[in-house]
Chain A
Amino acid sequence: MSLNDRESWGVTNLRLAFPKKKSMLFKDLSLDYQKGEKILLLGPSGCGKSTLLQVLSGLVPDSVELPMRADRHAVPDNWGFIFQDPDTQFCMPYVDEEIAFVLENRSISRNRMSQLIHHYLDMVDLKLENSHQLIRTLSGGMKQRLAIASVLALEPDVLFLDEPTALLDPRGTVQLWQTVRRIGNDRTLIIVEHKIDHVLDFIDRVVLFNHKGEIFADGPKVTTLARYREKLDDFGIWHPGVWKGYEEKQLDKSDDTFGELILELNHFEVLHQKRVKLFIEELMIHRGEWIAIIGENGAGKSTMIEGIMGLLHTKGKLSWTFPHPEDHVQFVFQNPEYQFVTDSVEDELAFSLRIKKMNEDEIARRVDQSLERYALKEQRLQHPFQLSIGQKRRLSVASAMINHPDVLILDEPTFGQDARNTFALLDLFQQLRQEGTTIIMVTHEMEIVSRFATRTLTIDQGRLVKDTLNESSKEEKRFGYGFDEHEHVIF
């Protein structure tokens, strides 16, 4: 295959810095690619892959003004860019209007628009009864496919994808990559991604970055990945063998002895706007359990734990065996930023202790202990919003745990985290459980469910449909809602 007759783009000797940062993000970085190539950029968080993608597309410096210089900066004529966050890629309220927005930008005549809108929606396999549907009613995965559809309306030769599945659940991830694979056939793809299971099949070249933003390996997929396999673990990449590698390191499987009853639900209903969103006939939770709540998007998993926390209106019996549940039960939100209430990491940790009017010496001691345990010592005086994604998550768990609660309830704690952070968190939860904390978490990650949870609750359409004990007994009993007989699991 001769390389000369193909179009090629890229940067040569790129130098780029963020304002107010002492060191440069890129120093004399070069990357070239040719028409039809399918490239995966891999590297640790914060190494500048996303910024490089914006440079390659010309968004830097045209739309995002960053001081940069390059000997050569060749940008393709027709390109499309898919961003990470499904919620901030759109400017119109409805699906059809969003694609029309792109067509308007291209000055396509109005009478061709409806037909084209359907064409692009079909291309990404987004089947809607009516294309005039509110975008915010779509799931994250559907939003991302809509983002692809609207970018396809640009008829791009080159597609840049910046971690498009970082905020998607496993099913949305699979569907998205199926779509990309289908539409990417005759296009050039440049992909930055942390979850590479479904990407590896259709890419042909891999570029590896180190912490300093330098390219240290660049070559065909198979040889490059084979040679630098252990680097993937260092970077926290979700690759196909990642769980296996983690298990080897993780030795102790704790024994599953559960203590006394701590929570009892009976004919428990969670209401939202006067409608019953979740119903649980009977459920008992014991000390020391690790409960995973699973189910489809919108099945009512978050509703369930928010109901248990008393954040939504509920009916029926919800009884903790603690006299003051608010001192014994802590909740960690999916987005940690919402629950930060102070301006520094240490104040954040001390917050709930100060509310309880604990003496300052004891507070200082506990804060130091937590900073140590959750690896936040260096960040002690930083504003919580300035932390990295992994640090934010650790801080949110740390500030919930500083009171030594008996129960920790978490809403998708590993969501959007890289493999390294996820494993660090799981180790932590494992430790907490061994110390007697009961863990209740909503998750989509089946590996966590099968490896860690002692019990799995499956929610479907607002009902608890399955209650399974993992590991020891493998006992499985179905709740017979709608049938005459019903039974529940007895410990």
Chain B
Amino acid sequence: MDTVLTNTNTLFFKINPSLKFILISSLFIVYLFVQNLNTMIWASLFFLILYYFVSGLSGKWSFWFVLITLIVSLFSASAMILFGKGSHIIYHQSLILITQESLARGVLLGLRTFTFSLIGMIFATTTLPVPFFYSLMQQLKVPVRYAYGCLAAFRMIPIMAEEFMHIRQAMRVRGMTRQKGVKAFCERMTRYTITMLAQSIRRAQRTAIAMEAKRFSMTEKRTYFYEIGWSRNDVYFVIILLLTVALGFVFSSYFPLTPYTNVLDQ
């Protein structure tokens, strides 16, 4: 995780995580209700630009992420494009029916997927788990047991990744990978699951006992090592985000690239 992230000393890392969380989640709702294809096109373009500037991912990872997201978006678009309803037929052969309306709807859906991933990644790659959960406890009053529980779980991720490598090596040594076929594949998956579940459950229980042994209690008042507060950066963040969203809407009405202002209209 550490080699993946670049410099953490940028503006988006210094924003109050709770504020970032709420604003970013509300963006999901906003774009869920956008039915104007032009707005969606401009919005995905602007968020791509924003993502390019603020993402915490290093160049190589960032490139692959955008590429994979594009492919996934294409898939989600294709379902709608290829089998949708509409009156202006572009292409028709057996089951496949492409109409202008379904094309517009499909593209909108694909762009929405794309924008959602970008927005999600802007959040995920600029938010560190520890400050995030501290902020949730301090600003949003999330119960401490959930917050610390999640933090403890975060600690397990690299341990599990390492464990996965070990099991894979062990399977190679035991000759399990030499077996071919669907049955052997299922068998392997079962082994991964059983071994990793057994280890994780054991680890989780031990960690829980260790936490209680350190007098972690769920009700009593506590102090915080990190106090997550507010700063001028939060204002900049709100402005940048509002500007990006607003630009999308403004451009769509002044520079409409397509005639589809509401893809739900027949």
Residues of A within 8 A of B (CB): 57, 59, 62-64, 80-81, 83, 85, 87-94, 96-97, 100-110, 113, 134-136, 150-151, 154, 306, 309, 311, 326, 330-331, 333, 335, 337-341, 351-352, 355, 385, 399
- Do residues A351 and B212 form an inter-chain contact, with CB atoms below 8 A? no
- Do residues A93 and B155 form an inter-chain contact, with CB atoms below 8 A? yes
CB neighbours of B171 from chain A (8 A): 341
- Do residues A338 and B195 form an inter-chain contact, with CB atoms below 8 A? yes
* Cβ-closest chain A residue relative to B154: A93
- Do residues A91 and B195 form an inter-chain contact, with CB atoms below 8 A? no
- Do residues A107 and B207 form an inter-chain contact, with CB atoms below 8 A? no
- Do residues A335 and B195 form an inter-chain contact, with CB atoms below 8 A? no
Given A63-B212, A104-B222, CB of A333 within 8 Å of CB of B166: yes
CB neighbours of A91 from chain B (8 A): 148, 151-152, 155, 207, 210-211, 216
Distance in angstroms from A488 CB to nearest chain B CB is 29
Distance in angstroms from A305 CB to nearest chain B CB is 11
A167 to B46, CA, bound (A): 53
Given A92-B130, A337-B195, CB of A107 within 8 Å of CB of B210: no
* Cβ-closest chain A residue relative to B204: A88
A-B contact count (CB 8 A): 131
A309 to B159, CA, bound (A): 23
Distance in angstroms from A114 CB to nearest chain B CB is 9
A390 to B200, CA, bound (A): 22
Known: A90-B207, A93-B151, A104-B225. 16 other contacts (CB 8 A): A64-B209, A88-B203, A91-B207, A91-B211, A92-B130, A101-B148, A104-B224, A106-B215, A113-B225, A150-B214, A333-B166, A333-B173, A337-B199, A339-B173, A341-B174, A355-B179
3 smallest A-B Cβ distances: which pairs? A100-B225, A91-B152, A339-B170
Q: Digit string of B159-199 for contact with A (CB within 8 Å is 1, else 0)?
A: 10001001101111111101100000000000100010011
- Do residues B214 and A154 form an inter-chain contact, with CB atoms below 8 A? yes
- Do residues B172 and A311 form an inter-chain contact, with CB atoms below 8 A? yes
Cβ-based interface call for B223 (8 A): yes
Interface size on B, residues (CB 8 A): 47
**One of A90, A105, A311 near B173 (C-beta < 8 A):** A311
CB neighbours of B215 from chain A (8 A): 102, 105-106, 154
Given A59-B212, A91-B148, A134-B2, CB of A326 within 8 Å of CB of B207: no
* Cβ-closest chain B residue relative to A89: B210
CB neighbours of B129 from chain A (8 A): 93
CB neighbours of B176 from chain A (8 A): 341
A80 to B171, CA, bound (A): 40
CB neighbours of B221 from chain A (8 A): 107
CB neighbours of A335 from chain B (8 A): 166
- Do residues B225 and A103 form an inter-chain contact, with CB atoms below 8 A? yes
Distance in angstroms from A179 CB to nearest chain B CB is 18
Cβ-based interface call for B259 (8 A): no
A256 to B216, CA, bound (A): 58
Q: Which residue among B129, B159, B173, B211 has the maximum number of chain A CB atoms within 10 Å of its CB?
A: B173
- Do residues B206 and A85 form an inter-chain contact, with CB atoms below 8 A? yes
CB neighbours of A311 from chain B (8 A): 169, 172-173
Cβ-based interface call for B227 (8 A): yes
8 Å CB interface, B216-266 against A: 216-217, 220-225, 227
* Cβ-closest chain A residue relative to B144: A104
CB neighbours of B155 from chain A (8 A): 90-93, 135-136
- Do residues A87 and B216 form an inter-chain contact, with CB atoms below 8 A? no
A63 to B206, CA, bound (A): 11
Given A333-B170, A339-B170, CB of A97 within 8 Å of CB of B175: no
CB neighbours of A96 from chain B (8 A): 225
- Do residues A105 and B216 form an inter-chain contact, with CB atoms below 8 A? yes
- Do residues B224 and A355 form an inter-chain contact, with CB atoms below 8 A? no
Q: Digit string of B99-121 for contact with A (CB within 8 Å is 1, else 0)?
A: 00000000000000000000000
Cβ-based interface call for B22 (8 A): no
* Cβ-closest chain A residue relative to B176: A341
CB neighbours of A113 from chain B (8 A): 225
CB neighbours of A88 from chain B (8 A): 203, 206-207, 210
CB neighbours of B151 from chain A (8 A): 91-93
- Do residues A80 and B166 form an inter-chain contact, with CB atoms below 8 A? no
**One of B173, B175, B211 near A309 (C-beta < 8 A):** B173
* Cβ-closest chain B residue relative to A105: B215
A93 to B130, CA, bound (A): 8
A63 to B171, CA, bound (A): 37
Cβ-based interface call for B213 (8 A): yes
- Do residues A101 and B214 form an inter-chain contact, with CB atoms below 8 A? yes
A97 to B216, CA, bound (A): 14
25 A–B contact pairs at CB < 8 A? A59-B213, A62-B212, A63-B213, A83-B209, A87-B203, A88-B207, A89-B210, A90-B207, A91-B152, A91-B155, A91-B210, A93-B151, A102-B214, A110-B224, A110-B227, A136-B158, A151-B213, A154-B214, A306-B169, A309-B173, A333-B169, A338-B169, A338-B170, A352-B174, A385-B198
* Cβ-closest chain B residue relative to A83: B210
**One of B148, B158, B209, B223 near A108 (C-beta < 8 A):** B223
A340 to B173, CA, bound (A): 11
**One of A59, A97, A104 near B209 (C-beta < 8 A):** A59
Distance in angstroms from B161 CB to nearest chain A CB is 11
A135 to B129, CA, bound (A): 15
CB neighbours of A103 from chain B (8 A): 223, 225
A331 to B158, CA, bound (A): 25
* Cβ-closest chain A residue relative to B196: A338
A368 to B151, CA, bound (A): 48
* Cβ-closest chain B residue relative to A136: B158
Q: Which residue among A83, A333, A341, A399 has the maximum number of chain B CB atoms within 10 Å of its CB?
A: A341
CB neighbours of A80 from chain B (8 A): 213
* Cβ-closest chain B residue relative to A58: B213
- Do residues A339 and B214 form an inter-chain contact, with CB atoms below 8 A? no
CB neighbours of B212 from chain A (8 A): 59, 62-63
Distance in angstroms from A345 CB to nearest chain B CB is 15
* Cβ-closest chain A residue relative to B213: A81
**One of B172, B178, B195, B223 near A109 (C-beta < 8 A):** B223
Distance in angstroms from A63 CB to nearest chain B CB is 4
Q: Which residue among B151, B171, B220, B223 has the maximum number of chain A CB atoms within 10 Å of its CB?
A: B223
CB neighbours of B222 from chain A (8 A): 104-105, 107
* Cβ-closest chain A residue relative to B149: A91
A88 to B213, CA, bound (A): 12
A90 to B204, CA, bound (A): 11
CB neighbours of A83 from chain B (8 A): 206, 209-210, 213
- Do residues A107 and B220 form an inter-chain contact, with CB atoms below 8 A? yes
